[in-house]
Structure 1
Amino acid sequence: MSRLLSHLGLGLPILAAPMSGGPSTPALVTAAARAGGLGFLAAGYKTPQALAEQIRTVRAESVPFGVNVFVPNPVPVSDEDYRAYVRAIRAEATRFGLQLPEGEPVEDDDPWKDKIDLLVTSPVPLVSFTFGLPGRSVVADLRKAGTTVVQTVTSIDEARGAAEIGVDAVIVQARAAGGHSATFTPAHLPPPTPLPELIAQVRHAVPLPVIAAGGLADPSGVSDALGAGAEAAMVGTVLLRTDESGASAPHKAALADPAFDTTVVTRAFTGRPARGLRNYFIDRYDPIAPAGYPALHHLTSPLRKAATASGDTRLIHLWAGTGHRQARTEPAARTLRRLVGGL
């Protein structure tokens, strides 16, 4: 057992990834911990009040857990490009009687300061950051409060930056990951380096424990990642169909639907690159979607919610990694234990 895993109280080298937008429920986080691993609440897109309530719920279960936070790393979009995209997708919104916003793009920071204040004043065992570096003072404040701090990285340069601000470990994310890429440079995705190779590169570059993520969905993939030097594996997509997942019913069904056989990286839904099941919306709008986060996320959010409520998978962001076919309908603990059962 590594020092990092022992410190966090893990019996198994497996973590349930944070999945914003609903999948990472308190029940899923608790199930991961009770299976011997650890789960993350996803702070992204939640109000500070909703995050605080979920923290209280998991804390009451007396299990180790983490919270993931999106670091503000805006990708500004011009008014001209934004309004052109509004016009392009308006017909889809009309199907549901929606009126797309006519005003300025929403360029918020997902209540960053309030969420950091919450995590400093009401500490949790582990905090991870995604999309960028939080700053040395934020890391220092969290560590002073007794929190282990980890940074998601997609390259050697990002790992070096994380080491410089004093984090305790890095999560190394490969391109095969479902949902948003954690890259600090969303306009320029890192190369599709295989996860074991990327782990080895990062371990050579920085003296920090490594957690592996991205496309891990079967025991052999987890074994390869650990064999490359990762201390634990983080999985997300493979948990989306589990009993405790908060993913929508259409999303869960699409993961097993033979009609959805390909994942692609797109910015059509949020203006930031994310991997999901290829569908009509991606095919139609990815070629014309501008880079623009979080503006495009806020623009398309009402449409995606309406499509989800009606079961229209043509228009939903069906986030999924390359191993999505391994996702099963079963208790999350069974999934996690199967992934590490042969170690």
Structure 2
Amino acid sequence: MLARVEEFCTRYGLRVPVLEAPMAGACPPELAVAVAEAGGMGANGVVLDRPAAIADWVARFRAASAGPLQLNIWVPDEPVDAPARVAAAEGFLRRFGTPGEAAGPGPVFAEQCEAMLAAEPTAVSTIMGLLDPDYVGRLHERGIAWFATATTLDEALAAQEAGADAVVAQGMEAGGHRGTFDPDAAERTTVGLIALVPRLADHLRVPVIAAGGIADGRGVAAALALGASAVQIGTAFLRTPEAAVAPGWAASLADLPPEGTVPTRAYSGRLGRAVATPYVTAWQEPDAPAPAPYPQHRALVGRWRRGTTEGLDAANHWAGQSAALARAEPAGEVVARIWAQARELLA
């Protein structure tokens, strides 16, 4: 087991088999630097970033660390034209105030891919699907690995066949968006990490990175014992000073029980696990409409946040089921503490 972990760490320049989860909007360079300097892999989720922002973020990271780095992108869904759902969601949002100005078009996926290629991170990772084979080849030509997120064995095997160098096994405990390739299958795909990791490890040739509900050394030791070569951790970093998330979001994580998180489409239209805030639970009321599809729903929530609101969360309160284990301490200390606990257990 430890030989498997050591092989992964050696290949990707790690001293500790801990990867920062690429949480879009909650991955400032300071957090990635702290994780990388502690021996792990820093990360940034760039789904909302234009090429110039991607380049600037990487430059800031590299000015402070020579450690390994992961950049993550969503593979776009097929567009969904659902004007009735959009109108219903817009009407429901009016209970939370009045909207502001609509934002312009978002970043272009192809341009983001070129920016990631130019940045030459240690790895490009994906969620929600697979990369084009030509682009995978271009990554490999530059020595950039591809980590593909999967929530089932079928997705993982498809990623391996498409050239993924490692598969991120995302259990249903994970905070943030659920990475199912089919957006409509997200509610039905609820495999826990303790079942998913050995299922993938027993059938894949490439390494498995465990993600979902891991926030202390016990979770790390369990994931590695089950067959993972490394772990990916997100929620455990959200209360660190380097993450600098909205105070209300950070406060909502303190001693949050697992049942205090719920799967929801209330923030973006794509299913994700979040704190059960009054805003989130409002969308579960019997008279609530279905949220609009992604990305239309995300755009609507953004408009309301730019307007005058009451009761709408100022930030998306994403949280995994182990949020209560997150501590308000420096990120480097989180990495060191978690790995020390795991090594003691594995010994």
Is the TM value for this pair above 0.5?
Answer: yes
Aligned pairs for 1:284-303 within 5 A: 284-286=282-284, 287-290=288-291, 292-303=293-304
Residue aligning to 2:144: 147
* Distance verdict in 2 for CA 1:172–1:109, change over 3 Å: farther
1:46 paired to 2:10: no
- With over 3 angstroms needed to count, the CA separation of the structure-2 counterparts of 1:34 and 1:315, relative to structure 1, is closer
Which residues of 2 match residues 14-93 of structure 1 at below 5 A? 14-21=18-25, 23-60=26-63, 61-74=65-78, 76-93=80-97
TM-score (norm 2): 0.89
Q: Which residue of 2 aligns with 1:207?
A: 205
Alignment equivalent of 1:219, drawn from 214, 217, 220: 217
Q: Which amino acid aligns with 2:154?
A: D
Where does the alignment leave 5 or more consecutive residues of structure 2 unmatched? none
Residue number in structure 2 paired with 1:245: 243
Identity %: 32
Give the CA deviation at 1:259: 10
Helix, strand or coil at the partner of 1:52: helix
TM-score normalised by structure 1 residue count: 0.90
- From the superposition, tell whether residues 251 and 214 of structure 1 become closer, same or farther in structure 2 (CA, over 3 Å): same
CA contact (8 A) 1:281 1:315 kept: no
Correspondent of 1:162 among 159, 164, 184:
159
Of residues 150, 168, 175 in structure 2, which corresponds to 1:171? 168
User: Displacement, 1:264?
Assistant: 0.2
The alpha carbon displacement at 1:313 in A equals 6.5
Secondary structure of residue in 1 paired with 2:184: coil
Structure 1 portions without partners, runs of 5+:
none
Counterpart contact for 1:250–1:311, Cα < 8 Å: no
1:136 aligns with 2:133: yes
Instruction: Provide the residue aligned with 2:123 in structure 1.
Output: 126
Paired letter, 2:193: L
Matches within 5 A, 1:184-333: 184-189=181-186, 190-256=188-254, 262-286=260-284, 287-290=288-291, 292-304=293-305, 314=313, 316-333=315-332
Contact 1:119 1:142 in 2 (8 A): no
CA deviation string 1:265-299 (max 9, x = no partner): 00122111010000111221244223501110111
Which amino acid letter does the alignment assign opposite residue 244 of structure 2? G
CA drift at 1:306: 6.2
Matched residue type, 1:5 = C
Q: Report whether the alignment pairs 1:5 with 2:9.
A: yes
SS of the residue aligned with 2:124? strand
- Partners of 2:112 and 2:17 in 1: CA distance: 28
Count of matched residue positions in the alignment of Structure 1 and Structure 2 = 333
Cα pair 1:15 1:39 within 8 Å, conserved: yes
- RMSD of aligned Cα (Å): 2.3
